[in-house]
Amino acid sequence: MKKALAYIALVLGTVVFAYPFVWMALATFKPELEIGELALWPSRWTLESYRLVFETIPLERAFLNSVIVVVAVTGSALVFGSMAAYALARLRWRGREAVFSLILFTMMVPFLVLLIPLYTLVVRFGWADSLLGLIVPFMMNATAVLILRQSFLTIPQDIVDAARIDGCSEARILFTIVWPLSVPALVTAGIIVFIGNWNEVLWPLIVIRQEQWMTMPQMVALFAVGGGAQARLGPQLAAALLLGLPIIVAYLFFQRHFISSLATTGLKG
Amino acid sequence: MARVRLDHVRKQYDNGFVAVHDASFEIHDGEFVVLVGPSGCGKSTTLRMIAGLETISSGTLMIGDRVVNDVAPKDRDIAMVFQNYALYPHMTVFDNMAFGLKLRGFSKQEIRERVHRAAEILDIGGILDRKPRQLSGGQRQRVAVGRAIVRQPQVFLFDEPLSNLDAKLRVQMRAEISRLHRQLGTTMVYVTHDQVEAMTMGDRIVVMNGGHIQQIDEPMNIYHRPYNRFVAEFIGSPSMNFVEGDIVVNEGMSFVSSDAAFSLKLENEVTEKLRDWIGNKIVLGIRPEDIYVAGGHGVPERTGHVTATIDVVEPMGNEIFLYARAGAHRLVARVAPQPLPQPEASVTLALDLSRLHFFDPETEINIAFEAPGVMA
């Protein structure tokens, strides 16, 4: 009985969370006039909304830009982030704790506070209206450093020492010994950086003016708000769904690692 | 192969803690030296300094004819076996063993040959393509040893390699490492807190405590002529018995226990050395196997008798441990199997007078200790 109640609660919870998304997904296939109705299932399936999206906005180019930016940002956040994390977790040096505190502190500063100074810097460097302006400021990520550091701390010191005696440089230890043992943490950090960066709208809106460098969320936002959708709900929803799709795919793909990392207790030799 | 030489080596951590004070000794080419002591005595730190995993605060460390204070671990030509094996979990046994060779640019052919030869020596040929997590503790330890020997280093370092194994496997691996040493003839430095490993494996033992070297000598010398009370107590199981008392002269020289529960008439050989101690406090030490039940089997000629009350009797099969008390003093005797005395029974113990040790109660140094050369 207790179990049944728990399941009912879980099902209700799932419905509450999933319903808007499912409704949106199905609504994109409805004829425009039906969208206002509460019914889930389209009476007639149509790709009209998608046709309009692809017709009015250069989605392919925006998608490509987004992929380039997000891959560069995620990749560098993992590479440089794990270097920092390794130094914080495994090397002994003066000021290590202070640097770690500083990194934690940067997580507390709201991005909005940094917006203006960061923009000024990017303009000075000449990166406004280029993908560099979208990539460089986010190449380091404090959250990734934190997640990786915690994971690296769980690796037995003896394994690191054994690698040192075997002839590894510190960089080699990081990438050939520590990385393979930290896959769940790398995936977690990767997903967090990926999602955060993929969904970013505000920063591209500020830095990018030319359409050819716009990212997908920026494009979708402009499309929805800027009148490209001709105030029609269907194409707006379709654009939003297209925007969310890569994240859903990535999450499903890495889900196993993601969950195992959140529940991980460390590795044993 | 090479010798290892420590010259006034000291390790002080940033927080001021001194893990090793002024360690000086030399490990000869091909020698098997065991560093032994309780946890926190500095033995592992000493080993890690030899490995290059800890920096040396002051002093000189030489491997072969080279000062290696500032040489990276990988360039010291050493190999190390760790307590928890430290195998790379994501690599197969073969790759674990081959890793160091690959990094050093050996040819594939050479790597294969070396790994297979080592696998043969250690009898792990059948598990080369398994991952560490699929292995038993004993197999993992063999792989860890294998990873060390494929490199053919000048010096092997072992950091408590057997302490994670069960008792039976430990005895077996102990013999195997000794055999390996005979076979390879390489210099080996072995850290353990287990005095049985120290006694059975080492050509020489370095006993450490509190960051200080207590004594360096061959196992039997350490056992029979401990430099101080710490060494006497640490080496041997059950531990040596200690009784505080005084040296008095009364028809020859005697030792009287502090509560006057018993006295022992001393032999001529020792009286000479104890002349300066007449009227002074002293600590007497005697090993459990040098205490007999009077009238029992194999009692030596010259013994001193002590009347004691039995506390606990532990029959071990081939011998019996008797825990007894004489006045305020507790004595452990290790005696041959015989009809068991009952607890609370009174028993007369016979102490072998030729096997007594005497320690200065202040410095705890063995009064009879002569051989200044032994302390390095």
Minimal Cα distance from A166: which residue of B? B100
Q: How confident is the model at residue B12 (pLDDT cuts 50, 70, 90)?
A: very high
Q: What's residue A258's pLDDT?
A: 63
Using an 8 Å CB-CB cutoff, list chain B residues near A97: none
Is A184 a domain residue? yes
Is A115 a domain residue? yes
Q: What's residue A260's pLDDT?
A: 62
> At residue A269, does pLDDT exceed 50?
no
One domain for residues A12 and A115? no
Q: Which of B78, B90, B102, B134 to mutate to test the interface with A (most CBs of A within 10 A)?
A: B90
Q: What is the pLDDT of residues B27-72, one digit of tens each?
A: 999 999 999 999 989 999 999 999 999 999 999 999 999 999 999 9
Q: Count CB atoms within 10 A of the CB of residue B291.
A: 23
Nearest-CB residue to A269 (from B73, B84, B147): B84
Nearest-CB residue to B86 (from A168, A181, A269): A269
Using an 8 Å CB-CB cutoff, list chain A residues near B156: none
Minimal Cα distance from A179: which residue of B? B90
Residue tagged 């199997």 (tokens): B337
The neighbouring-strand residues paired with B306 are B349
Is A73 a domain residue? yes
- CATH number at A260 reads 1.10.3720.10
Q: What is the pLDDT of residues A150-163, one digit of tens each?
A: 999 999 999 999 99
How far off is chain A from B173, nearest CA to CA, in Å? Answer: 20
As a whole number of angstroms, the distance between CA B34 and CA B160 comes to 10
> At residue B192, does pLDDT exceed 70?
yes
Using an 8 Å CB-CB cutoff, list chain B residues near A181: 89-90
When mean pLDDT is compared across B251-260, B304-313, B327-336, B362-371, the lowest value belongs to B362-371
R_g over Cα of chain A: 23
One domain for residues A126 and A24? no
Average pLDDT (A18-34) is 85
Residue tagged 């297979």 (tokens): B116
| Tally of structural domains, chain A | 2
- Report how far apart, in Å, the C-alpha atoms of B292 and of each of B263, B286, B312, B316 are: 16, 11, 16, 16
How far off is chain A from B178, nearest CA to CA, in Å? Answer: 22
Q: Which of B50, B63, B82 to mutate to test the interface with A (most CBs of A within 10 A)?
A: B82
One domain for residues A16 and A148? no
The CATH number of the structural domain formed by B241-359 is 2.40.50.140
The full set of domain ranges for chain B reads 4-234, 241-359
Nearest one of B366, B333, B368 to B231, comparing CA atoms? B366
Q: How confident is the model at residue A245 (pLDDT cuts 50, 70, 90)?
A: confident
One domain for residues A137 and A13? no
How far off is chain B from A110, nearest CA to CA, in Å? Answer: 36
**Model ipTM?**
0.83
Q: What's residue A265's pLDDT?
A: 38
| A136 close to B (CB below 8 A) | no
Nearest-CB residue to A269 (from B72, B80, B87): B87
One domain for residues A40 and A85? no
Is A30 a domain residue? yes
How far off is chain B from A269, nearest CA to CA, in Å? Answer: 5
Is A269 a domain residue? no
One domain for residues A76 and A25? no
Q: Count CB atoms within 10 A of the CB of residue B130.
A: 15
Q: What is the pLDDT of residues A195-205, one digit of tens each?
A: 899 989 899 99
One domain for residues A190 and A238? yes
Average pLDDT (B159-163) is 91
One domain for residues A135 and A40? no
Range of the domain at A7: 1-46
Whether B89 and A268 lie within 8 Å, measured CB to CB: yes
Is A51 a domain residue? no
Q: What is the pLDDT of residues B307-362, one digit of tens each?
A: 999 999 999 889 999 999 998 999 999 998 888 778 888 999 999 998 999 999 99
pTM of this structure: 0.83
Beta-carbon contacts of A173 under 8 Å, excluding residues fewer than 6 positions away, are A86, A90, A160, A163, A164
Q: What is the pLDDT of residues B78-117, one digit of tens each?
A: 999 998 889 999 999 999 999 999 999 999 999 999 999 9
One domain for residues A203 and A221? yes
Minimal Cα distance from A172: which residue of B? B103
Average pLDDT (B260-265) is 87
Q: What's residue A236's pLDDT?
A: 85
Structure-derived torsion over alpha carbons of residues A17, A19, A25, A31, reported in degrees to the nearest 10? -150
Q: Count CB atoms within 10 A of the CB of residue A255.
A: 12
One domain for residues A21 and A143? no
Q: What's residue B372's pLDDT?
A: 44
Using an 8 Å CB-CB cutoff, list chain B residues near A166: 74, 99-100, 103, 147
Nearest-CB residue to B84 (from A158, A172, A180): A158
Contact B313, B262 (CB under 8 A): no
Minimal Cα distance from A163: which residue of B? B100
Nearest-CB residue to A159 (from B74, B86, B140): B86
One domain for residues A35 and A62? no
How far off is chain A from B169, nearest CA to CA, in Å? Answer: 19
As a whole number of angstroms, the distance between CA B284 and CA B267 comes to 14
Question: Does the domain spanning B4-234 belong to CATH 1.10.10.10?
Answer: no
Phi first, then psi, for residue B254 (nearest 5°) are -135, 155
How far off is chain A from B75, nearest CA to CA, in Å? Answer: 8
Residue tagged 């195992």 (tokens): A260
> At residue B369, does pLDDT exceed 50?
yes
Nearest-CB residue to A166 (from B52, B83, B100): B100
How far off is chain A from B4, nearest CA to CA, in Å? Answer: 17
One domain for residues A62 and A145? yes
Q: How confident is the model at residue B375 (pLDDT cuts 50, 70, 90)?
A: very low
Whether B82 and A172 lie within 8 Å, measured CB to CB: no
- Write the DSSP assignment of A27-90 as a string of letters: HTTS-GGGTTS--SS-SS---HHHHHHHHHS-HHHHHHHHHHHHHHHHHHHHHHHHHHHHHHHH
State the count of interchain CB pairs (< 8 A) between A and B: 67
